[in-house]
Amino acid sequence: MNRELEWSGIEREILACTRCPLSKSRTRAVPGEGNLYSSVMLLGEAPGRSEDEEGRPFVGAAGRLLNKLIEEVGMRREEVFITNVVKCRPPNNREPSPEEILACSRFTDRIIELVNPKTIAALGNHAGYYLFELRGGARWLGVTRMRGRVYRLPVLGSARTLVPTYHPAAVLYNPQLYETVRDDFRLLKRVVEALEGGAGLLRFARPGGRED
């Protein structure tokens, strides 16, 4: 499979998609961007105003914060793949609805299957809901209860390592969360390094809270 060619086809479909009402109010759809061969995916919630204008994920204030978090743990944005569970901006930056997430999941599924990441960071509750409840067969208890631990779940036919944390936008509204999210990104970095060398040092938590 030629990943670049396949990605071009997915992009075209997303840009032309009218499967949900968000297509009527968007300026541009935001398929995602990054390394199609990365072992790491960052999965957010939905585009904001800047993303809607540019057609790229995480390019506004939350994106600048995300870049800072990535760089602080010794990673580079170009090394990972970034997308959202909803590819069009909800009006007034409201949260995406479950119906909108489900309508867009056909694209989210295909992007995950294409990139085939070993590790996915769930940025916010809606990304966690998609990965855990819709695709992982596990209960999502909310980012506050689920963050800070590493999970291993079958997502779209492959066992994947999931690291939930708050969405960077939450840090903009509550700067006290910054250290918490930075700790989660440090955890993400440790997970990536452990998987590259063999996962023997990782301890996986069950969605209910216990660790194996």
Q: Measure the CA–CA gap between 21 and 119, rounded to whole angstroms.
A: 31
Q: For 209, phi and psi rounded to 5 degrees? A: 125, -25
User: Is 207 a domain residue?
Assistant: no
Please report where in the chains the tokens 């009006």 appear, as a residue: 91
Q: Measure the CA–CA gap between 172 and 183, rounded to whole angstroms.
A: 16
Q: How far is CA 200 from CA 13, 91, 108, 191, 211, in A?
A: 40, 45, 29, 11, 14
Confidence of residue 208 (pLDDT cuts 50, 70, 90): low
Q: What is the pLDDT of residues 38-93, one digit of tens each?
A: 999 999 999 999 999 999 999 999 999 999 999 999 999 999 999 999 999 999 99
Q: pTM of the prediction?
A: 0.94
User: Is 210 a domain residue?
Assistant: no
Number of domains into which the chain is organized: 1
CATH (domain of 96): 3.40.470.10
Domain that holds residue 172: 3-201
Q: Which residues of 179-205 are buried (b: 16+ CB within 10 A; e: fewer)?
A: ebbbebbebbbebbebbeeeeeeeebb
User: Is 211 a domain residue?
Assistant: no
